[in-house]
Amino acid sequence: MTVLPFHNRALAFEHPQKGYVRYNPCGNPKLETLSGARPNPIRADYIKFGPSIVARLMVGLSVKGRNTYTIEHLRTLTRAYLRSHKMPENSTFVVQKGVYTHKRSGKIIEEDSSQIVLINEGVSNKKFFAVARGLAEHICKKMQQESVICEIQENGIPKHIYDIIA
């Protein structure tokens, strides 16, 4: 079985315009895949050699304090975007509760949210990074989010964290 590192922990970083930003996932994660669960393979194939590159997007499902979107909305947007960029539609969705501090008011917000996990399965890192950030911007616009966090990991270690604002 292929095991890919995945960190489900708080993110904190300094944003140039917004100052200190913190995202703190809470609750029990629920793993969903587009293709459904399968039994462990008898034979394991390597996707590629070298470092494991993963993009993790944090997306709220509420707008102005109201539950507005579902995981199905997010899955549909994600698959269509990946398809339009000739990328594999393979993605994993983790449904959770998110807690964050609103950037303007300072109010603590708790909402239903999701993480989208994308694994680079062989395209250039440059294209993978561009598609991951583009997907975050697309979701931000379509789902009317204040921002979407896009974290790029190498071998399970965060290397780049973007606060995508559309």
Q: How far apart are CA 72 and CA 104, in angstroms?
A: 29
Per-residue pLDDT tens over the stretch 118-139:
999 888 999 999 999 999 999 9
Per-residue pLDDT tens over the stretch 70-93:
999 999 999 999 999 999 888 899
Percent of the chain residues topping a pLDDT of 70: 77
Residue 151's pLDDT is 96
Residue 1's pLDDT is 42
| Beta carbons within 8 Å of 135's beta carbon, 6+ residues apart | 57, 78, 81, 82, 116, 118, 150
Higher per-residue confidence, 162 vs 10: 162
Residue 2's pLDDT is 46
pTM for the whole thing?
0.70
Mean of the per-residue pLDDT values for the chain?
A: 82
CATH numeric code, 11-35+50-164 = 3.30.70
Cβ proximity of 134 and 85 under 8 Å: yes
Q: How far apart are CA 46 and CA 48, in angstroms?
A: 5
